[in-house]
Amino acid sequence: MGKIRVSILGSANEEELREKQKVKREEKKKRESAGKSEKVHISGMKGGQRVKSVGAQSEEEIEKMAKLAEEVEKDQAEGIKVADKGKPSKKKKVRSRGKRYKEALMKVDHGKLYKIDEALPLLRQISLTKFPGSVELHINTLEKGLRGTVSLPHGTGKEVRVVIADNTTIDKIVTAIEGGKIDFDALIAHPSVMPKLAKVAKFLGPKGLMPNPKAGTISQEPEKVAAKIKGGEVAWKTESDFPIVHQVIGKLSFKDKQLEENFNALLKAIGATKIRSITLKSTMSPGIKIQFA
């Protein structure tokens, strides 16, 4: 058994004993806290990254961590992504153009606006494909939400598959679409069958094939609309988020005169006053800036 200590209440011995016990308790707490750490979150870090132990660290270390938090917040405000520790940062691959593309690029004066009759012969010189590629126009407009149709005198060079949805064909068309079969490039619908087509809108909508009165693909006379489309009428519109129109106006197998006439028809349909700039290119070729009235 241990020694029995006797003290008289209110005596100096009792006060001394209490003081010693208090000191021992404080020392015990310090020893326990030395092996533990308090977890706090650093602003800007993700998940386990931002949990840091600070209880067992000095004031100097805590100050460093506070500065780190400020730097992280600053980086995020400036759009800099903080890399995970232990994970090597992935470097973006720089796209390297081939020798033929660079040679074609050197033939274009990028500070010049070419007239369309100058640009078309140049476009043939810088074409990189072994097949007659598509001739494309990329038009920056002054505003979004522009759309319309244009009848290209010589078409686009692509055979357009047109299907008409009316009371005699609607059930067959809906069944085919529900089965995953969409074998057309344009769908023209009579107004009376639109409620049935609504059942397959989730398949047609993302592909831009859902009949729409603004595009002229809903009509009381769908046969006439189908004939126009087959004859070279195309719908054009700006992108949903950007004021840009992308439109094919033919193929390199067309004559320059045919491409020029298609170009002028599209320019007239959009309106030169609504256009900011035009770039002409073919499949995989560099672009040529075009002068327009």
Per-residue model confidence as pLDDT tens digits over 213-237:
887 899 999 999 998 888 888 889 9
Residues 162-197 as b/e (b if ≥16 CB within 10 A, e otherwise) read: bbbbeeeebeebbeebeeeebebebbbbbeebbeeb
Within a domain: 43:
no
Within a domain: 243:
yes
Whether 116 and 220 share a structural domain = no
Tally of CB atoms within 10 A around 211: 23
Q: How far apart are CA 187 and CA 164, in angstroms?
A: 6
Q: Which carries the bigger pLDDT value, residue 104 or residue 31?
A: 104
H helices of the chain, in order, are 12-34, 59-77, 99-106, 116-125, 170-178, 194-197, 201-204, 222-230, 256-270
Residue where a domain stops, chosen among 231, 246, 276: 231
- Using one digit for the tens of pLDDT, what is the confidence trace for 105-116? 889 998 999 999
Whether 247 and 226 share a structural domain = no
Please choose, from the candidates 143, 126, 160, 288, the residue with its C-alpha nearest in 3D space to the C-alpha of residue 235. Answer: 160
Domain that holds residue 242: 109-157+232-293
**Angle at Cα 28 formed by Cα 24 and Cα 32, nearest 5°?**
175
Read off the pLDDT band of 94 (50, 70, 90): low
| 85 three-class SS | coil
pLDDT at res. 108: 93
**Total number of domains in the chain:** 2
Q: Give the dihedral of Cα atoms 260, 232, 278, 138; nearest 10 deg.
A: -140
N-terminal to C-terminal alpha carbon distance within the chain:
111
Whether 166 and 268 share a structural domain = no
Within a domain: 173:
yes
Residue where a domain stops, chosen among 205, 231, 257: 231
| pLDDT of residue 123 exceeding 70 | yes
Neighbouring residues of 76: CB distance < 8 A, sequence distance ≥ 6: 44, 82
| pLDDT of residue 130 exceeding 70 | yes
Neighbouring residues of 228: CB distance < 8 A, sequence distance ≥ 6: 151
Residue where a domain stops, chosen among 185, 208, 231: 231
Provide the mean pLDDT of the chain: 80
Q: What is the largest CA-CA distance in the chain?
A: 120
Whether 284 and 166 share a structural domain = no
Within a domain: 93:
no
pLDDT at res. 190: 94
Q: How far apart are CA 138 and CA 287, in angstroms?
A: 9
Whether 153 and 246 share a structural domain = yes
Whether 208 and 113 share a structural domain = no
Whether 219 and 166 share a structural domain = yes
Whether 174 and 293 share a structural domain = no
> Does the model's pTM come out above 0.75?
no
Residue 280 sits in a domain whose CATH number is 3.30.190.20
Read off the tokens for 165. Answer: 């949805």
Within a domain: 262:
yes
- Alpha carbon 160 to its chain centroid, in Å, reads 28
Within a domain: 68:
no
Within a domain: 237:
yes
Please choose, from the candidates 62, 63, 51, 54, the residue with its C-alpha nearest in 3D space to the C-alpha of residue 33. Answer: 54
Burial of 9 (0-12, 13-18, 19+ CB in 10 A): exposed
Within a domain: 10:
no
Whether 192 and 248 share a structural domain = no
